[in-house]
Every structure is written in structure tokens, then in C-alpha cells.
Amino acid sequence: MAGSRETPVGFADLVVRHGRVFTLAGFSRKPARGPGMERLGLIDNGYVAIRGDRIVAVGEADRLPASLLGPETQWLDAGGRAVIPGFVDPHTHLVYAGSRAGEFAQRLRGTSYLEILAAGGGILSTVAATRAAAEEELTEQAARRLGRFLLAGTTTVEVKSGYGLSREAELKQLRVVRRLRQMLPLDLVPTFLGAHAVPMEYRDHRQAYVDLLVDDMLPAVAAEGLAEFADVFCEEGVFSPTETRRILSRARQLGLGLKLHADELVAAVGGAELAAELGATSADHLLYASEEGLAAMARAGAVAVLLPGTAFFLRTGRYAPARRMLELGLPVALATDHNPGTCTLESMAEVMGLAALEMGLTPAEALAAATINAAHAVGRQAETGSLEPGKRADLLVLDGEGPEDIVYRFGTNLVDQVVAQGRLAASAGRLLKGGTDR
Ligand code: NIG
Ligand code: FE
């Protein structure tokens, strides 16, 4: 049984008590793998004490140290319900303008995603809309989406650029992320995805676009400190493994962490192998990844980020081989992939449901994949993803007893209370003003 652990003196500002506390403790250095993904560190009748934006102690409710309780300490009673870490969504394309509902209807009639992209639609239609939008408009639209993410319990979100595909428009998207981070109590992790597609104006000289990425855009992004990661859409008809290697090697030189959209849509193009070779933090999608590629990722310590919402929404009839990945010892994480083209989901609980129903993850594995392992996928493992002293106070009280209920009640938002960065940010399905401004 987990004992009480606390960091030094001072009163708590907020104590969440009488919860079934799923701490997910013990995986802050290395992600959960294999059977470890079901070790959720449950404290049956537990408390979490918070000071400022930090967790200061976690333990059994009847052993809550009196020394933590001052005249100003506030209580949040979980009433025997589940308390879990705030969700971490490690893969989104959140900043964009326009809608692709028309293209969606076309896909329902049978046109494929890559056919639409090759004809200048898909990502490229969102690029046109995003280039035309002002920074304020993009900020406002993304902030509304993030409000819904927060109501669904997500407190940390990775956000990619990739709908600009020019130096100015990519920087604009990343500046929007920086602004949003100052406006809202969510932690945002910015990723440069200039290599999301070859823009129209470079269609006939794609090499020049790769040069632009390597010689101009990446250094500009790094110089302004606008991104923590760089990502490439490594896919048949998009960027080849050779181009991907060149782009990501430059990103690594510039001090960025690496991610790949790998082996997603058509075949194993060697994305998983490349992720291992380059020391990427994560490789994402992996529907078609080869067995050797997955084994290489496991050896290299890369996180496999799975996006079952995308497979569902694209009606690929195929999902990433999650159970095989677990057997190979790969740390598995989940993400929404929220974007206007291939997946409009905003809720990590819904993604957990799909992961269980379509990929065979257990509810416990899905929770580890949506919290601590997702934190590893964005380099935030020391900061969030579990309920342990010293970590940021990002937590949820659910209308349910644990991860089984999240999966079983698929489609219903069971998130009742959201504490983000130490403050109550949402309650009973409503955003709270004090907790959502900064
Ligand atoms: O992860 N695969 C590439 N990027 C997104 C799709 C983005 C879009 O279609 O706008 C994805 O599926
Ligand atoms: Fe994506």
C-alpha cells in the first residue's frame, strides 16, 4: 500500500480528499511498459494536497498530516469517486482556420485521403485558410477548442504547426501557441511541423522546399525559441525517409526534440526504424510499422503514440498493433490527433474508449497511455502525468470509480472537476472564470 509522502513545511492551499486516487506513481523517469502499464498506484481512500501550482503530498485520507492544514486550506471532497492525473494529449494540430466538412462528405462517398491531398485539397486547403487568417482569429478559435479540451479533462496539449508551410505562416501558428499558453491554465508543448506537406508553390521543385525547411525555417523557429519539437509527415507521397532524415537531423542539431508521423496510411516506409535511428522521443500512428521497426523503437526507448481516433475517422479498417507493441516492451501513449481533416475528436477519454474497443488495450493500460506515458511523449514526465509530490497539480475528479468507467461509458464526459496548475478550472461541465484566466 502506498504510504504518505510529502515535501516540506507550509500549509496546503487545496486538499482533494476521499478519492480513489490513481497516482500512476513510479514512472517519472522511465515510462510504463508491458505489465507495468496496469500498475496505477491506487490509494483507495486517498488525498492529494496542493500548494500553489504543485502537489505537496499524496496519501491515505486518514493519515493526512495536520501540519498541512491551515485556516485558508480549501477542501474538495471526491466522495469516493476516482481522482486521476489530468490527461496529456501528446499529438494535436490545434491551430487552424476553416472547415473540411465538404471533403469529409467526399471521403464518405469513397475518395481517399491521399487522393484529396494529391489534388491540392486536404492539408493544403487548411493551409490556404490558415495563411489567410489573422493571428487574433487563430488564437480565438484555438482558445475555444482548448476550453473544450479542458472540460474533457486534458491539462497538457502538444500543438503542431504545419498549416502555414511558409516561414511567416509557420511562425504565426507557433506564436499563437505561445499566446495561448499565456492566456490559459493549460500547458502547451509547441512542435514545428513545417514538413507536413509540400506547399502548392513548391509542387514542381520539392527539393527547394526541403532546403527551405532546413536552411531557413528550422533555424528561424529555433532562434525565436518557438518550438520544443520538430515533426515530419513521413509517408508515401508526402516526405520520404531520406528527406525526413535530413530535416530531423538538422532539427536535432538545433536542439529540438524529434517526432515523426510514421507508417500511417499506406505501407511500412521505414518510419519506425528512422525514429529509432535518430533517437526520436516518439513515433506516432504506426499502423503499418514493421516488426523490426517496432523492436528497434523499443530498444531506442522511443514512445509509440497511437491515434485510434484517426484510424476510426478515416475508416481505414485497421488499427496500430497495440498488443504486439506491448509485448515488444514499447511504451505506448494515446493522443487525439485533433485536426480538421483526419480526426476531430477533442477528448482523451473518447480516445481511451476507442483504444480499448478497437485495439484491445485494457482500461488500466489506456489510462497509463493517456497520462504518464503521454507525458513522456512530450518530455513533460517530470512535470505532469502522475500524482506525486513535486509535480504540477493537474488532476481530475471523475463521476466514476476508475478507468473501467471511462471506457464503459464511452462518449459520455465523466470529468466532473478539473484542477489545472493548482486551481479549480472546471466544475460540473462548466469552465470557471477564475481558473481559466491567468
Ligand atoms: O496526423 N497525417 C498527417 N497529419 C494529420 C492530418 C492533418 C490534416 O489532414 O489536416 C494526421 O492525421
Ligand atoms: Fe497528426
Mutate to test the pocket of ligand 1, among 127, 259, 314, 337 (most ligand atoms within 8 A of CB): 337
Is the CB of residue 130 below 6 angstroms from any atom belonging to ligand 1? no
332-360 average pLDDT score: 98
Is the CB of residue 336 below 6 angstroms from any atom belonging to ligand 1? no
Q: Would you say residue 134 has pLDDT above 80?
A: yes
The string of pLDDT tens digits covering residues 374-387 is 999 999 999 999 99
Q: Would you say residue 2 has pLDDT above 50?
A: no
Q: How far apart are CA 157 and CA 164, in angstroms?
A: 20
Q: Would you say residue 237 has pLDDT above 90?
A: no
Is the CB of residue 341 below 6 angstroms from any atom belonging to ligand 1? yes
How would you write 184-225 as a 3-class SS string? CCCEEEEEEEEECCCCHHHCCCHHHHHHHHHHHHHHHHHHCC
CA nearest ligand 1 atom 3, residue: 233
> Which ligand 1 atom sits nearest the alpha carbon of residue 117?
9
Span from the CA of 162 to the centroid of ligand 1 (angstroms): 9
Work out the pLDDT band at 1, boundaries 50, 70, 90.
very low
Mutate to test the pocket of ligand 1, among 89, 92, 93, 234 (most ligand atoms within 8 A of CB): 93
The amino acid at 322 = A
CA nearest ligand 1 atom 9, residue: 341
Q: What is the pLDDT of residue 4?
A: 53
The string of pLDDT tens digits covering residues 282-310 is 999 999 999 999 999 999 999 999 999 99
Strand 187-195 with 229-234, pairing: parallel
Q: What is the pLDDT of residue 181?
A: 96
Q: What is the pLDDT of residue 316?
A: 87
Q: Would you say residue 188 has pLDDT above 70?
A: yes
Directed axis angle between helix 363-370 and helix 348-359, to 10°? 140
Q: What would the grid cell of residue 140 be? A: 480565438
Distance of CA 173 to the CA centre of its chain: 18
CA nearest ligand 1 atom 5, residue: 342
186-194 average pLDDT score: 98
> Which ligand 1 atom sits nearest the alpha carbon of residue 193?
4
Work out the pLDDT band at 257, boundaries 50, 70, 90.
very high
The string of pLDDT tens digits covering residues 56-102 is 999 999 999 999 999 999 999 999 999 999 999 999 999 999 999 99
